[in-house]
A and B are shown apart, each in its own frame.
Chain A
Amino acid sequence: MDIQGRKLIKIATAGSVDDGKSTLIGRLLYDTKSLTTDKIEAIERSSRQRGYDYLDFSLATDGLVAEREQGITIDVAHIYFNTEKTNFIVADTPGHVEYTRNMVTGASTSNVAIILIDARKGVIEQTYRHFFISNLLRISHVVVAINKMDLVGYDEDIYLKIKADFDALVEKSDFRQEQITFIPVSALKGENIARKSEHMPWYLGNTLLDHLEILEPADLQESTVARFPIQYVIRPKTEAYHDFRGFSGKLYGGSLKVGDAVTVLPSGNESTIKSIHFFDQELEEAAPGSSIAITLATEVDCSRGDMIVKSGFVPKSEKTLSATICQVNSKALRVGGKYILQHGINRVLAKVDQIESRIHTDFTGTEEAEQLKLNDIGRVHFRLSKPIHFDSYHDNKSNGSFILIDEGSYDTVSVGFIE
């Protein structure tokens, strides 16, 4: 539950330039009454200045001066709105060819993706890429919003043709049919966004907003086994808590409870959970996603970067790994390159042993590659200075992903999904 007791749904939006993505988001904000009068006034003012005879909702989301000047979105923006029952966070990611990294970034924190298609253009190369990334990141649910239906006379045949083309893509992916929903909309006119469109009686499904509201965050979350990476050791050294050693961190994958037999990695030492703390409360059991502190029944050597797991459910601990890499920096990834690999909160050194292939983001296979450039996706083998304790991305997203940090600039240059 979110702060107000509403459920929290995180959405990434993807679309090409001019597909009307910002307009769609502006429309969602407007229809959920999330735009305040001063913001609406600002939009009206700017729209008038630009000589439009309609409200340009994209002005509500395009934040930076450069974007307003060029009329395109160049970075991930986060937008918040809510309905009675649900809080939404939208990561608005740009659709420019060169900005794959932004969609990967936005999608990494989202459990739903909205892929926009311009009804006049149908499924294009960009659509392939957006869907490919949704598939790579194992987004739980994809909404295909076929936009600008007003410009094609609300024609059902056009909708069906696009749906059939997209279904052909779904077959090439790991998605199941029930994870994909198609909705014909006009963001500009508000058709099938919050209001059911009178122009498309042939569409029997939910409006976009109704559909987003019925999604349950629990169904959108993975449930696997507990992984508890230690962030920070809490040692109060006060009289009341003289011997307190709390291992604090965020719990992923599954729940932990008092009395659970646990193993500490990398030492392999075994112990039992003595207590679980959240501020001044003592908990019996904590669900995944909790930021808690744990004490163990026995004195065990344990520090930042170590991991507490349930005994019998240990992850792999290895000094080599293979991963799908997406390059998010203009500096290319090369064989022999050395990086700081950050896996969750743990850092080790990593060396690129081999770049096996570059993966075509249109589901057409792979090719040989000597380097991975910005926005490239490829299969890479690494050697590590120390073992890390990982799962495959398929089994556990948070324990199966990492970033690479450049040793010189300290920039985040790649994101990896472990196989």
Chain B
Amino acid sequence: MSNLFIPNPKEAESIHILREVAAQFERPVLLFSGGKDSITLVRLAQKAFFPAKIPFPLLHVDTGHNFPETIEFRDKLVSELGLELIVRNVQDSIDQGKVREERGRYASRNTLQTTTLLDAIEEFKFDACIGGARRDEEKARAKERVFSVRDDFGQWDEKNQRPELFDMLNGKIHVGQNVRVFPISNWTELDVWEYIKTENIEIPSIYFAHKREVFFRDGMIWTANEHVYREQTELVEEKMVRFRTVGDMTCTAAVLSEAVTLDDVVAEIRDSTISERGARIDDKRSEAAMETRKKVGYF
């Protein structure tokens, strides 16, 4: 009995969920942002289907305001693992007049992504979209199901969610509906980081401390870049920073950090007194910011 394999329950649960997706749906897709959560999903999917390849493509909704390091990383990962990558651009949705670019001090393409995502779902007839959202991120997400049914308009009806009992997943849907799947629902931010460390998973360089041109606004550190609106009075400085989440430059704030290795990062997260979403400018808009966006189909 010395060689009895004892599973990590959260990892085993995620693999179980990913296999259910492959078995229950015809056209699943993994929504890939280049962030640590979706990178973790890719590793879990590798584990779920090994020695076969991951049986679904990756979809990246590109706002055009991504950090270049993220895009570079994405392309490398895809080619190393021989995955299929689909990219759809928010810029195209803007050019087609489907959405209007926000203006001013807090302009961001973050909410515009929803339209591009819903269009891609329709274009490819995806019936399951796998995402890296976690329940510990935000209180509206704490109520999200593992299999979350969305209607033709991508809307989330939070009061009429299917109860999820034991580990039985009901992915039965009607034509036009799709399911958002969250395999790492039960993971915490620290779980993800510890996992990346134990598994030795490569992540984009912006997660580690580096020198960057930034400016300060509302007590947050913003990236100084052509895509980010900046007042003349907001002065650019060079600082040692890193990012805790990877979204758009316009909605992801940096933190001052000296953490250059994974060990440093994990130690920093463990001692951190600000939650991960505390560095998300998009959530600060109002107490119900996340819930309002989710209702209309945001991830």
Q: Which residues of A contact B (CB under 8 A)?
A: 1-4, 8, 36-39, 42, 46, 60-66, 68, 74-80, 82, 87, 89, 101-102, 104-105, 108-109, 231-232, 234-238, 240-241, 244, 246, 248-250, 255, 276-281, 283-287, 289-293, 304, 328, 340, 342, 344-345, 397-398, 401-403, 405, 410-412, 415
Contacts and interface: CB of A to CB of B under 8 A. Distances in A.
Contacts of A405: 170, 172
B27 to A, nearest CB: 16
A37 B48 contact: no
B4 A287 contact: yes
B136 interface: yes
Contact of A4 (B173, B194, B272, B288): B194
Contacts of A345: 20, 23, 168
A22 B66 CA distance: 38
B189 to A, nearest CB: 9
A411 B5 CA distance: 37
Given A232-B23, A244-B51, A401 B166 contact: yes
Interface in B131-184: 135-136, 139-143, 158-159, 161-168, 170, 172-174
Contact of A234 (B51, B170, B173): B51
26 contacts: A2-B8, A8-B10, A36-B275, A37-B273, A60-B139, A63-B139, A63-B143, A64-B158, A64-B291, A75-B161, A82-B190, A105-B163, A231-B19, A231-B23, A236-B52, A255-B4, A279-B46, A285-B4, A287-B5, A287-B6, A304-B23, A328-B165, A401-B168, A410-B172, A412-B163, A415-B163
Given A3-B191, A234-B51, A291-B7, A78 B19 contact: no
A241 to B, nearest CB: 5
Given A78-B186, A231-B16, A285-B3, A66 B143 contact: no
Given A77-B142, A109-B166, A340-B172, A39 B275 contact: yes
A234 B47 CA distance: 11
Contacts of A415: 163, 165
Nearest to B277: A38
Given A65-B291, A78-B185, A284 B3 contact: yes
Contacts of A292: 5
A208 B198 CA distance: 32
Q: Is the interface of A mostly helix, strand, loop or mixed?
A: mixed
Given A401-B165, A412-B165, 10 more contacts: A37-B273, A63-B139, A105-B164, A108-B165, A231-B20, A284-B5, A286-B5, A290-B12, A291-B13, A405-B172
A101 B163 contact: yes
Top 10 nearest A-B pairs by Cβ distance? A410-B172, A63-B139, A291-B15, A236-B52, A38-B278, A284-B3, A36-B275, A290-B7, A291-B12, A105-B163
B142 A286 contact: no
Contact of B5 (A278, A328, A401): A278
Interface string B253-276: 000000000000000000011110
Contacts of B23: 231-232, 304, 345
A344 B166 CA distance: 9
B188 interface: yes
B118 interface: no
B186 A89 contact: yes
B134 to A, nearest CB: 9
Nearest to B276: A36
Contacts of B52: 234-238, 241
Contacts of B191: 2-4, 87
Contact of B170 (A235, A280, A342): A342
Contacts of B13: 291
Given A63-B142, A232-B22, A342 B10 contact: no
Contacts of A244: 51
Contacts of A102: 163
Contacts of A277: 50-51
A348 to B, nearest CB: 14
Contacts of B198: 3
Contact of A80 (B7, B136, B272, B274): B136
A285 B142 contact: no
Contacts of A80: 135-136, 186, 188
Contacts of B8: 1-3
B9 interface: yes
A344 B19 CA distance: 13
Contacts of B20: 231, 345
A291 B16 contact: yes
B165 A105 contact: yes
B150 to A, nearest CB: 13
Nearest to B171: A410
A11 B267 CA distance: 27
B106 interface: no
Given A76-B143, A255-B4, A285-B1, A248 B167 contact: no
B11 interface: yes
Given A37-B274, A231-B16, A290 B5 contact: yes
Interface in B180-222: 185-188, 190-191, 194-195, 198
Contacts of B124: none
Given A65-B288, A234-B52, A291-B16, A286 B163 contact: no
Contacts of A293: 50
Contacts of B158: 64, 75
B98 interface: no
A64 B7 contact: no
A412 B136 CA distance: 25
B140 A3 contact: no
B80 interface: no
Contact of B275 (A38, A278, A401): A38
B16 to A, nearest CB: 5
B296 to A, nearest CB: 14
Most interface-central of A63, A77, A105, A278 (chain B CB within 10 A): A63
B287 interface: yes
A78 B143 CA distance: 7
Given A37-B273, A304-B23, A410 B10 contact: no
Contacts of A68: 287
Contacts of A109: 165-167
Given A66-B159, A285-B5, A410 B170 contact: yes
Contact of B19 (A82, A283, A291): A291
A286 B8 CA distance: 12
